[in-house]
Amino acid sequence: MSKKSLIPGFSWKRATGVTSAKRKIAKATGIPTTKSGRKRKAQSILWKSLFGK
């Protein structure tokens, strides 16, 4: 569970550049940085390997 910020709409991750760094890594490698994104990509690769296209 995430902690509420004292300032509405403020994210320390965006302020420090963590979000943009993760985004750049994901775009460069083609591997998502979120847990659900990695799972979705793995499932896609599995289905493509089993059934082609």
Q: What is the pLDDT of residue 11?
A: 85
Q: How many CA atoms lie within 13 A of 16 on its CB side?
A: 5
Q: Give residue 1's pLDDT band: very low, low, confident or very high (50, 70, 90).
A: low
Residues 22 and 14: their CA atoms lie apart, in Å, by 10
Residue whose tokens read 């902690």? 3
The string of pLDDT tens digits covering residues 4-45 is 667 788 888 888 999 999 999 999 999 999 999 999 999 999
**pTM for the full predicted model:** 0.59
Q: Which stretches within the chain are classed as H helix?
A: 12-16, 18-29, 35-51
